[in-house]
């Protein structure tokens, strides 16, 4: 099964996956990929732009390969703000789309406490985009418990 886990920065997407994934499952997380590619002592969330380009390419390759194996293992993919095109692809792959959102106040506090200040703009954009979703169009199954 493919699980696409969405939500604003610092919402608890990784924690949601950690609470569910088995050691044999595949977890595709851009932050984890970037850390694996970075030199010693690299920060957890504030990545160099060149490193991010390489990490994005590795993520795309990982997704392409992992979806071929979703019948044997669960695949968890973190995608903060999937485009309409990406969502259509995930739906064609019969993905379960999970939205992790403990609420804007909690997210903004976590971003202030734990993330690069630039993530405030990403979180703000996520909430604006989420608020514009046409009424009755679900974002996916909600997992709004604060992890």
Q: Could you tell me the CA-to-CA distances from 117 to 14, 56, 57, 95 in Å, in that order?
A: 20, 21, 25, 32
Residue spans per domain, the chain: 2-142
Say what the pTM is: 0.85
Helices (H), 19-118: 30-37, 49-66, 84-92, 104-114
Each residue's pLDDT, cut to its tens digit, for the chain (147 residues) gives 999 999 999 999 999 999 999 999 999 999 899 989 987 876 666 677 898 899 999 999 999 999 999 999 999 999 999 999 999 999 999 999 999 999 999 999 999 998 888 889 999 999 999 886 554 344 555 554 433
Domain 2-142 belongs to what topology?
A: Rossmann fold (3.40.50)
Token readout for 34 is: 């970037």
pLDDT computed for residue 25 by the predictor: 98
Of residues 13, 34, 4, 3, the one with CA closest to residue 107: 13
How far apart are alpha carbons 129 and 78 in whole angstroms?
17
């Amino acid at each position: 099964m493919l699980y696409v886990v969405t939500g604003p920065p610092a919402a608890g997407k990784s924690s949601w996956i950690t609470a569910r994934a088995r050691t044999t499952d595949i977890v595709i997380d851009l932050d984890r990929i970037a850390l694996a590619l970075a030199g010693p002592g690299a920060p957890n969330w504030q990545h160099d732009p060149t490193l991010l380009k390489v990490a994005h390419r590795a993520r795309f390759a990982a997704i392409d390969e992992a979806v071929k194996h979703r019948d044997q293992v669960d695949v968890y993919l973190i995608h903060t703000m999937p485009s309409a095109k990406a969502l259509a692809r995930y739906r064609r792959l019969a993905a379960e789309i999970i939205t992790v959102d403990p609420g804007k106040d909690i997210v903004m506090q976590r971003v202030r406490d734990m993330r690069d200040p630039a993530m405030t703009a990403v979180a703000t954009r996520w909430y604006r985009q989420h608020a514009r979703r046409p009424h009755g169009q679900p974002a996916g199954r909600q997992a709004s418990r604060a992890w």
